[in-house]
Amino acid sequence: MRDLIITNSSRLEFSMRVTDVLALELAGGLASLIHFQIPLVDTPPIHTVLLHFCSALAFLLFPQLELYGSWRGRSLADMFLRLAASWGLVLLVGLFFSFLIHHVGNVSRLWMFYWYATGVSFLMLYRIGVYYGLRYLRTKGLNNKRVVLVGYGSTGQEMHRRALQQDWTGYDVMAVYAEGDDADRIKDPGIARIGSLQEIHDYVVRNHIHEIWITLPLMASPRLQELQYLLRNTLVDIRWVPDVLGLQMLTNKMGNFLGLPVVDLNQPISSGVNGILKDIFDKAFSLAALILLLPLFIVIAILIKHSSPGPVFFRQPRLGLNGRQFNVYKFRTMKVHQETGKVTQATRDDPRVTPIGAFLRRTSLDELPQFINVLLGDMSVVGPRPHALQHNEMYKDLLEMYMLRHRVKPGITGWAQIHGYRGETDTVDKMAKRVQFDLHYIQNWSLWMDLRIIAWTAFRGWTGANAY
Provide the b/e sequence for 312-337 (b: ≥16 CB within 10 Å). eebeeebbbbeeeebebbbbbbbeee
The residues pairing with 192 across neighbouring beta strands, listed in sequence order, are 175
Alpha-carbon distance of 186 to 240, in angstroms, equals 20
The amino acid that residue 116 corresponds to is Y
Nearest-10 Cα torsion for 181, 184, 188, 190: 100
CB 200 within 8 A of CB 148: yes
Tens of pLDDT along the chain (468 residues)? 445 444 555 677 888 899 999 999 999 999 999 999 999 989 999 999 999 999 999 999 888 887 887 666 667 788 888 899 999 999 999 999 998 888 888 889 999 999 999 999 999 998 888 878 877 777 776 778 889 999 888 888 888 888 888 777 788 899 999 888 888 888 888 889 998 899 999 999 999 898 999 988 767 777 888 888 888 888 888 888 876 655 556 666 666 666 666 767 677 777 777 888 899 999 999 999 999 999 999 999 999 988 888 899 989 999 998 888 999 999 998 877 655 555 555 555 567 788 888 888 888 888 899 999 999 999 999 999 999 888 888 888 888 788 888 889 999 999 988 888 776 666 788 888 898 899 889 888 889 999 999 999 888 755 555 554
Instruction: Count CB atoms within 10 A of the CB of residue 412.
Output: 26
CA pair distance 94, 97, nearest whole angstrom: 5
Domain ranges of the chain: 4-139, 145-246, 273-459
For the domain 145-246, what is the CATH code?
3.40.50.720
